[in-house]
Amino acid sequence: MTDFLLYLTNGLVMGIIYALFALGVALIVGIMNVVNFAHGELYVLAGYFSALFASALGMHPALAMIMATLCVFVVGLIVERTLIRPTYGNEMYSLIVTFILSIVLQNGYLLIFGPYPRKPPNLVTGATNVFSLFMYGNQRLLGFALALVMIVCFFALIRYTWFGRVVRSVSIDRDMASLMGVNPQRVNLLAFGLGCALAGAAGVILTPIFPVTPTIGVGVSLTAFVVVVLGGMGSFAGCVVGGILLGVMENLGAAYISSAYKQLFGFIILISALFLRPAGLFGRKRA
């Protein structure tokens, strides 16, 4: 029973972080109809940045985390401006470009950082006795809390700001939004940057626990796609539910069924969900 609760807690913690980076994918798909295959590589980049800032530049780990996320936001803006913008209206090319980008980044990391895992120092140490049932790492608990706060901030942003209003109107009707006098290029730029920053935030939160290597981004991207598809394919709230669901299923599945086939379940969900709702992740009918 205690074991079960531990797996469940693990699933919940991972699920919230899945939800955090999946929200980035959902935002970019929703606004731009672009799937960013390099999403996971931006997560990894944030991990490297935070390790670099904290160890090499001697920044406080918390500051390093914030700086790393901001850097990834800027990288996202640059990527959108230079690589994504020319592909507007051509889904095929945006797919191809982000796929190539993911491979370039992986191999770039390999060249610069080597194949070895990197991590920044932990923010906190030790463990807490959860519900006086089992000991749970403080770093993980902190990560959970941080991810939760980020998600709440994201929802507040969507709910209460100019940007959020635009996002919501675009997800209802793209053409109507452009009639509202919104500059679509600026919205796309911001959405892409913000989407990447969400991957970055997840990266800096998780890297102290799971050090980054050049290629782990692939798994992150694929997980994000599964979560977005799983989460009812409509809302950002669905993303959170989907993330937690996948986190819990993976951890229970790995513990009780088979750890080798852990990822397989996700892909089967991905394909069946897409098959049942081919109109797309957002269920929006396209003419």
Partner 1 sequence: MEVITANTKKPLTVVGIVVLALFAAFPLFLGQYWLHTAIVGLFYVMMASSWNLLAGYTGQVSFAHAAFAGVGAYTSGILAAKAGLPPLLGLPIGIAVAAVLGLALGSLCIRMGGIYLSLTTLGFSEILRIIVTNEYEITRGTMGLKTPPLFGEYSKTVSFYVLLAAALLILWLIRRILNSDLGASFRAVQNDETAAASLGIPVVRVRILAFVIAGAMAGFAGSLYGHYLMLITPHILSLDLMFLVLAMTVIGGMGTFIGPIVGALFLETLSEYIRVYGEYHILIFGLVALAVARFAPQGLVGLWRQFRSAV
54 vs 170, beta carbon nearer partner 1: 170
For residue 276, give both structure tokens: 């049942």
Stretch touching partner 1 by CB under 8 A, among 16-24, 60-68, 81-89, 153-161? 81-89
Min dist CB 35 to partner 1, Å, is 4
Which amino acid, residue 158?
I
Tell whether residue 97 is a contact of partner 1 (CB under 8 A). yes
Tell whether residue 268 is a contact of partner 1 (CB under 8 A). yes
Distances (CA, A) of 52 to 23, 197, 198: 26, 18, 19
For residue 232, give both structure tokens: 């009812």
Tell whether residue 135 is a contact of partner 1 (CB under 8 A). no
194 vs 281, beta carbon nearer partner 1: 281
Stretch touching partner 1 by CB under 8 A, among 83-91, 155-163, 189-197, 200-208? 83-91
Tell whether residue 275 is a contact of partner 1 (CB under 8 A). yes
Provide the phi-psi class of 283: left if phi over 0, else alpha when psi is between -120 and 50, else beta: left
User: What phi and psi values does residue 130 have, to the nearest 5 degrees?
Assistant: -85, 125
Tell whether residue 91 is a contact of partner 1 (CB under 8 A). yes
Tell whether residue 103 is a contact of partner 1 (CB under 8 A). yes
Binding pattern for the stretch 195-224 against partner 1, x by CB under 8 A and - elsewhere = -----------------------x---x--
Alpha helices in the chain (DSSP H): 2-32, 39-51, 61-79, 91-113, 138-160, 162-172, 174-179, 184-206, 217-230, 236-256, 262-276
Per DSSP, 117 falls in state -
Tell whether residue 283 is a contact of partner 1 (CB under 8 A). no
* Closest residue by Cα to residue 150 from 137, 245, 158: 158
Min dist CB 138 to partner 1, Å, is 34
Tell whether residue 271 is a contact of partner 1 (CB under 8 A). yes
